């Protein structure tokens, strides 16, 4: 197992889990397509909540840990790049959790990922995503610390963030995240995160044929604020005029 897979296998469930679970429960067909599922931090909760999950990731080591942990459950694991999502059945919820969009290499990959999510979403379904706040990423400096408060009440994990370089042209922030677990284990993750601005998101959402339903801050349903570390977006397939309506408009024109 790689160090990253080991880290994500150990990381606790997150504070925004309740929001994802509520969305999965509202999925019209009880199915979730989870992009960037990693070792299954969220997948586990979705499966336990009764969802049928297709988990996609491009990291074979991550998926291996996920598949091993959930053998026999209602889970399909797909090794793929989310920027070139394979065709497949449409589902009621397409989830892009845990800063997946920030990890993608450029705006074109982010557009492709959102377009793929839209293609795989049922007309009455939802696409939901988590991303790191662009303003938090830009403003990150020096050394800061925080703690992950697991949703299941287990011991918190102390996190130290050391800001690295900020590359203005590619708009990427590097940082080193050190996670100290209650049992003494210390694991490190290198962050290389794109600053994804609201303007870029708006354009990519529209180009994908999606529309914004709501924007929340770090822990939905709290509203978005200037100090939020993360944002959550809820999207749906854009309403298209029925062919009858467009024919009527054409005749009037």
The residues binding ligand SAM (CB under 6 A) are 8, 11, 36-38, 41-42, 57-59, 62, 81-83, 97-100, 103-104
The CA–CA distances, whole Å, from 87 to 75, 92, 137 equal 17, 15, 33
Question: In the chain, what's the furthest Cα-to-Cα distance?
Answer: 72
Token code pair at residue 51: 């969802």
Shortest Å distance, C-beta 97 to ligand SAM: 5
Shortest Å distance, C-beta 15 to ligand SAM: 12
Shortest Å distance, C-beta 240 to ligand SAM: 28
Q: Give whichever of 116 and 241 is closer to ligand SAM, judged by the CB atom.
A: 116
Shortest Å distance, C-beta 63 to ligand SAM: 8
Shortest Å distance, C-beta 24 to ligand SAM: 14
Whole-angstrom Cα distance, residue 119 to residue 209? Answer: 9
What backbone torsions phi and psi does residue 35 show, to the nearest 5 degrees?
Answer: -95, 135
Q: Give whichever of 100 and 171 is closer to ligand SAM, judged by the CB atom.
A: 100
Q: Give whichever of 16 and 228 is closer to ligand SAM, judged by the CB atom.
A: 16
Question: What SS3 state is found at 197?
Answer: coil
Both ends of the chain: CA-CA distance in Å? 63
Q: Give whichever of 116 and 217 is closer to ligand SAM, judged by the CB atom.
A: 116
Nearest to 22 by CA among 159, 221, 194: 221
Q: Give whichever of 41 and 122 is closer to ligand SAM, judged by the CB atom.
A: 41
């Amino acid at each position: 197992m790689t160090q990253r897979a080991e880290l994500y296998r150990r990381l606790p469930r997150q504070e925004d889990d309740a929001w994802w679970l509520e969305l999965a429960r509202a999925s019209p067909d009880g199915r979730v397509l989870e992009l960037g599922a990693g070792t299954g931090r969220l997948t586990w909760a979705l499966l336990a909540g009764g969802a049928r999950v297709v988990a996609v990731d491009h990291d074979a080591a991550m998926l291996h840990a996920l598949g091993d942990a959930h053998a026999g459950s209602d889970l399909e694991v797909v090794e793929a790049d989310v920027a070139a999502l394979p065709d497949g059945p449409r589902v009621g919820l397409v989830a892009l959790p845990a800063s997946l969009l920030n990890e993608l290499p450029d705006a074109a990959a982010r557009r492709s990922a959102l377009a793929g999510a839209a293609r795989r979403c049922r007309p009455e379904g939802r696409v939901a995503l988590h991303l790191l706040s662009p303003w938090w990423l830009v403003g990150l400096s020096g050394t800061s610390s925080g703690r992950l408060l697991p949703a299941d009440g287990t011991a918190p994990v102390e996190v130290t963030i050391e800001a690295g370089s900020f590359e203005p042209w590619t708009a990427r922030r590097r940082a080193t995240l050190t996670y100290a677990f209650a049992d003494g284990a210390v694991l490190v993750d290198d962050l290389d995160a794109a600053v994804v601005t609201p303007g870029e998101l708006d354009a990519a959402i529209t180009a994908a044929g999606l529309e914004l339903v709501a924007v929340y801050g770090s822990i939905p349903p709290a509203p978005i604020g200037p100090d939020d570390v993360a944002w959550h977006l809820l999207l749906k397939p854009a309403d298209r005029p029925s062919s009858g309506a467009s024919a009527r408009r054409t005749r009037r024109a």
